[in-house]
Amino acid sequence: MGSCEFEAGGFRFVIEWTGRGVSRLLFEKESSGTRGAHAELPPFVREAVAAVRAFFDEGRDVSRIRIDLAAMTEFDRRVVALLRRIPRGRATSYRAVAAAAGVPSACRAVGGAIGRNPLPVIFPCHRVVLADGRLGGFSAPGGAEVKKRLLRLEGVGFRRDAVVEPAHMLDSVPVRLGAGKHLARRALCRKAMRGGCA
């Protein structure tokens, strides 16, 4: 296990890893003193840092970063995995993610899973907004302003009232499911459901 700080896209990050892969990628408000020499990092961590920088600089895909999701619940893993299906330059609602997860009435549970996402950017939780296009929350330091900045970097337009332009909103999350997975997801999510969608 280890951690180090790096900068990308004008943001400061702390990256943490296990022997299996990157386990956390956190936005930092200020230096936490965990700076490490990048030459001493495991090769997969150096590759992850380079990929996150390329995400900001060139719009590159970060889905090939070696990750370790062992600390997450199965429900949270399933929810954040759906975030990768939201295309760059688009946004969707918590309601749409809940529907894609097979639990359309579990928006609060889905929102909680998104808020616990330990790998923002890799699982792009900033692309999930309220159903009316308002930003909603964001757990990184700087909150909704950071979310808005990330969306703008990806080409998402906003109206003057900080609401995502309707042309950039997706009504649903593109999902490929095998037979019978919808029912399995419903059973898995029953425990996580705390309330309905507003």
Residue 187 pLDDT more than 50?
A: no
Print burial letters for 119-157: b (CB count within 10 Å at least 16), e (below 16): bbbbbbbbbbbbbebebbebebeeebebbbebbebbebe
Same domain, 54 and 83: no
Same domain, 42 and 94: no
Same domain, 99 and 179: yes
Same domain, 35 and 105: no
Residue 189 pLDDT more than 70?
A: no
195 within domain boundaries: no
Three-class HEC string of 157-186? CECCCCEECHHHECCCCCCCCCCCHHHHHH
pLDDT at position 11: 94
Q: Who's near 139: CB < 8 A, 6+ residues apart?
A: 115, 117, 120
- The active-site residue out of 4, 107, 125, 197 is 125
Same domain, 171 and 104: yes
pLDDT at position 39: 60
147: its two tokens: 């979310």
Same domain, 29 and 85: no
Integer CA distances (angstroms), 83 to 8, 21, 103, in order: 21, 19, 15
67 within domain boundaries: no
> Tell me, what amino acid is at 63?
S
CATH of the domain at 110: 1.10.10.10
Q: Side-chain half-sphere of 159: how many Cα atoms within 13 Å?
A: 12
Active site residue 125: yes
pLDDT tens for 127-138 read 999 999 999 989
**pLDDT band at residue 54 using 50, 70 and 90 as cut-offs:** very high
173 within domain boundaries: yes
**pLDDT band at residue 121 using 50, 70 and 90 as cut-offs:** very high
Same domain, 128 and 178: yes
> For tokens 């590759």, what's the residue?
47
pLDDT tens for 56-82 read 998 888 999 999 999 999 999 999 999
Same domain, 90 and 156: yes
Structural domain harbouring 178: 74-189
Same domain, 155 and 95: yes
Same domain, 87 and 163: yes
Is 115 exposed, middle or buried (CB count within 10 Å of its CB: 0-12, 13-18, 19+)?
middle
Same domain, 180 and 86: yes
In percent, the amount of the chain with pLDDT more than 90 equals 73
- pLDDT mean across residues, the chain: 86
What's the CA gap between 48 and 105, in Å, rounded? 35
User: What is the total count of domains within the chain?
Assistant: 2
Same domain, 183 and 97: yes
Neighbours of 85 (CB within 10 A): 17
Residue 114 pLDDT more than 90?
A: yes
Binning the chain into helix, strand and coil, the percentages to the nearest 5 are: 35, 15, 50
196 within domain boundaries: no
pLDDT at position 190: 44
